[in-house]
């Protein structure tokens, strides 16, 4: 386990802002400590410029929202556009495969009308 002291002198920035579309309705669970966790996935599609060339970017990433943010998640439905800000972390799937997960610190619903 890493401690703050062991991270001194290392680069500690870890922030990601990603907009996308909710893939399916969020799932909620409550930890033994009584903390509400919500999980959902978003699809992001865009055109990015890399080395002077346009490149299609597509990613599907799992989002985890904990505590107060979980209550906002109840309003999300499949097809809803959102902007999620947070940090990324490694989780393990049930079969032991590593997953990159976005831990939400802020979620904004986007209305494209």
pLDDT digits (tens, 9 = 90+) for 36-61: 899 999 999 999 999 999 999 999 99
Confidence label for 6 from pLDDT (cuts 50, 70 and 90): low
Asked whether 76 and 63 are in contact (CB, 8 A), the reply is no
26 pLDDT exceeds 80? Answer: yes
Nearest to 105 by CA among 32, 28, 42, 15: 15
Percent of the chain with pLDDT over 70: 90
Q: Which residues contact 11 (CB under 8 A, 6 or more apart)?
A: none
Predicted local confidence at residue 17, as pLDDT = 98
Does residue 25 or residue 61 have the better pLDDT? Answer: 61
Query: Under a CB-based contact definition with an 8 Å cutoff, are residues 26 and 38 in contact?
Result: yes
Spatial separation of the C-alpha atoms in residues 23 and 39, rounded to whole Å: 11
Residue among 66, 61, 68, 70 nearest 90 (CA): 61
Residue 2 · residue 67 · CB < 8 Å: no
Q: Look at the domain 14-110 and name its fold.
A: OB fold (Dihydrolipoamide Acetyltransferase, E2P) (2.40.50)
The structure's pTM equals 0.83
**pLDDT-derived band of residue 113, with 50, 70 and 90 as boundaries?**
low
Q: What are the beta bridge partners of residue 105?
A: none
Domain residue ranges of the chain, discontinuous segments joined by +: 14-110
């Amino acid at each position: 386990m890493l401690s703050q002291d062991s991270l001194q002198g290392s680069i500690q920035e870890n922030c990601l802002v990603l907009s996308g579309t909710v893939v399916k309705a969020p799932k909620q669970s409550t930890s033994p400590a009584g903390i509400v966790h919500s999980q959902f996935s978003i699809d992001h599609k865009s055109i990015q410029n890399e080395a002077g060339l346009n490149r299609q970017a597509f990613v599907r990433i799992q989002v985890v929202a904990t505590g107060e943010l979980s209550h906002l998640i109840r309003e999300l439905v499949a097809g809803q556009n959102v902007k999620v800000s947070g940090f990324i972390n490694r989780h393990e799937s049930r079969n032991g495969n590593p997953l990159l997960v976005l831990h939400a610190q802020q979620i904004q619903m986007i209305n494209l009308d």
